[in-house]
Structure formats: C-alpha cells, structure tokens
Amino acid sequence: MVRLQELYDRIAEAIRERQSPPLEVRELHQANLDRQAELEKIEEQVQEHELELTTVRKKEEEWKLELEHFQRQKGMVTNEREFTAVISEIDYATKALEEAAARRRELEDANSALAAEIEDRRNARPEEEAAHKDVVQAWEKRKKKLMAQVHKLVTETKAIEGDIGPKNRARFLRLLASKKGTAVAAVLDGSCSLCHFALRPHLQQRVRRCEEIISCETCHRILFIEETLDGVSSATESA
C-alpha cells in the first residue's frame, strides 16, 4: 500500500505539473492577452472616433448651409441694423464651421495614426509568434511526456491494486478520496507524521511487526514505519 501511495503521489504530481504551465509559458500567454487587449482598445477608439466623425461631418455640412444662407441674406439687407445682424450671424456660423472642420481633421488624423498603429501591431505578430514558438513547442512536448507518464503509472497502480484483497483495496481507496489523496502515513518518533497523534507503545509494535493493517486512531490513515519496510524489502531481495 505504501508503494501504491507513492504511485498515486507521482500521478497527482504529474497532473499538477501538466495543469501548471511554467512561468515562461504563463508570461507568454499573459503577454499575448495584454497585446490583444491593447489592440481591442485601439480598435474601440477608432470606432468611437468614427461615431463622432459622423456627427461632426453632419454639423459641418449644416454650418456650411447656414453660412451660405446668411451670405445670401447679406445681399438683401436694406438698412444698417439688418446688415449688423447678418454680419453677426455670419461670424458665428463661420466660427462654428471652422471649429467643426478643425475637429473633423483632428479625428481623421487620430484615426489615421491609430490605423497605422493597428497595422504595425498586426504585422509584428508573426515575428513575435515565431520568437515564442520554441517555448510553446517545448511545453507541448512536456505535456505529452507527462500524460504518457500518468498512463504508465496508472497501469502500475492497477497491477498493484490487483494484488491487494478487495476489502483492503476498498479501504485504501476510501482513505485516498477522503484524505486529500494521502491514505498512508509514516510513524516518526512514535507519532503519526500527518496528524502528529502519539501512538501507544503496543500500537507502535504492531505497526513495526508489519503483520496487519494498523490505522491511526485520530486521522485513520494506514500507518507504516520506514525502517520496517526497508527491512522487509531487503529480506525479500535476499530470498
């Protein structure tokens, strides 16, 4: 069961590694997300400018018509008072038209600059992707290797589980599920290494004899003593 626990630990470790890309890959992924977010923000600015341009161009045309109207009125005035009023309207319309035209040019220039920036960013992507290709490929290769390792370890666990009695196997698997992946615990200095419960002397002796399955009285994990296992392994190899 200790060997079985080791295999499950290695499986869990391989799965964790596969689900946790290295820092270089995470930074690359985040950089790609940041670049995409920046590109989308620029594109949103272009859209906002286009909406405002529609309004500004409409106003510009309206003020042109307004100015033409008052310029025609200027030729039909009959007294100084009417002339002064028309001149005032012409000045106001001229100023408004100039402001609208200036804003239109400002927005058009801004959109031209943004369009150039978008093009530069998109043209740079292939170079950036090529520079990061080796990093991504290395990680994909590592993930495949980890998956192959998991399959191999699972095959080993099934073989070992087949040699354990059904009752004890079920007990081990229940503990594995309920104890966050750790069904066994070593006895260190007379205590359970995981919950630190101090074992009574006679219980320590029973664990040391390695003739039966002994559980911790507190956390209920299956107990073992490393030195005893080493002795059993040595004796088996000598035989």
Q: What is the pLDDT of residue 127?
A: 62
> All domains of the chain, ordered by start, with CATH?
20-158 (1.10.287.1490), 166-238 (no CATH)
pLDDT tens figures, 127-166: 666 667 888 888 999 999 999 999 999 999 999 999 999 9
% the chain with pLDDT above 90: 74
pLDDT tens figures, 188-215: 999 999 999 999 999 999 999 988 999 9
Whole-model pTM: value is 0.61
- Listing DSSP states for 15-69 in one string gives HHHHHS--HHHHHHHHHHHHHHHHHHHHHHHHHHHHHHHHHHHHHHHHHHHHHHH
pLDDT tens figures, 62-95: 999 999 999 999 988 889 999 999 999 999 999 9
* Average pLDDT over all residues of the chain: 90
% the chain with pLDDT above 70: 93
d(CA 103, CA 63): 14
pLDDT tens figures, 8-24: 999 999 999 999 998 88
